[in-house]
Amino acid sequence: MRNIKMVLEYDGSKYQGWQKLGNTENTIQEKIEKTIKMIINEDITLIGSGRTDAGVHAKGQVANFKTNSEIELNDFLYYLNVYLPKDIRVKDMREASERFHARYNVKKKYYVYYVYNDTFQSPFYRKYSYHVPEKLNVENMNEASKLLIGTHDFRAFTSVKSKKKSTIKTIESIKINNSTPIISIEYTADGFLYNMVRILTGTLIEIGNGTRDVNSINALFDSKNRADAGFTAPAHGLFLEKVIY
């Protein structure tokens, strides 16, 4: 059986996220699976590198699926982009080794969160950035971000309450770029917990607007209590940028 790896981009505005749900068709996984079925007349299961929440965007989501079809990949890519909705685009398709698994084999993920930091939101960025009207102190956010880097128990930074799975992750880097009025925060880690990037961002924004102390970060690793961390920054400012295997 062929194992096909694809890289894709999507504007998540109109979707209920990546992952297929029971009673709706409005997920990205489902749109792509149905379009593939239309093209090769085969039911396939698309495995994403991970879920993205409702409203989250992607510039480099990776997925794989197995198929018996012998369709030429260039044709496949072409038909997919013709039949998929315009807010989903397949950038690349190639053969992967039989053992490649888009979720299990992830080495590193990059997420970028965009904040539009000006009195009024721009018509062009309103769907792709979170509007914060009060001026943020980016220096303090930078300082705080350094405390987040490294291997920590990020339990306070996830909305999942199950205690079964490990909540220890390693953040390799957080790069904050202040290109007025847009502040971008790029997170690189070996993986992220559910809602983790959005809660990290909410926490950094609270530090930027002065409602939270830079040094409060360390206490969060000890408290392990979601309620002590910042708010969950909204989905529409978040992009899954890249996945490394």
Q: Could you say which of 11, 43, 53, 222 is catalytic?
A: 53
Query: Of 87 and 186, which has the nearer Cβ to a second copy?
Result: 87
Residues 82-101 that bind a second copy (CB under 8 A): 86-91
Query: Of 181 and 208, which has the nearer Cβ to a second copy?
Result: 181
Nearest 5 degrees, angle CA 84-CA 58-CA 99?
85
Q: Is 41 in the site for a second copy (CB under 8 A)?
A: no
Query: Which regions of the chain does DSSP assign to beta strands (E)?
Result: 2-10, 47-48, 57-67, 88-96, 108-116, 130-131, 150-153, 168-179, 182-189, 238-244
User: Which residue type is seen at 99?
Assistant: R
To a second copy, the closest distance from the beta carbon of 213 in angstroms equals 31
Residues 49-68 that bind a second copy (CB under 8 A): 57, 59
According to DSSP, the β-strands at 150-153 and 108-116 are unpaired
Query: Of 148 and 238, which has the nearer Cβ to a second copy?
Result: 238
To a second copy, the closest distance from the beta carbon of 119 in angstroms equals 8
Per CB under 8 A, the list member of 45, 122, 177, 218 interacting with a second copy is 122
Q: Is 11 in the site for a second copy (CB under 8 A)?
A: yes
Put residue 30 in one of left, alpha, beta given phi > 0 → left and psi -120 to 50 → alpha: alpha
3-class DSSP state of 141:
helix
Q: Is 53 a catalytic residue?
A: yes
To a second copy, the closest distance from the beta carbon of 13 in angstroms equals 9
Scored b (16 or more CB within 10 A) or e, 205-240 reads bbbbbeebebebbeebbeeeebeebbebbbbbbbbb
Q: Is 240 in the site for a second copy (CB under 8 A)?
A: no
How many alpha carbons lie under 13 Å from residue 3 in its C-beta half-sphere?
10
Query: Of 124 and 179, which has the nearer Cβ to a second copy?
Result: 124
Which residues are tagged catalytic? Answer: 53
Residues that bind a second copy (CB under 8 A): 9-11, 57, 59, 81, 86-91, 119-124, 126, 128
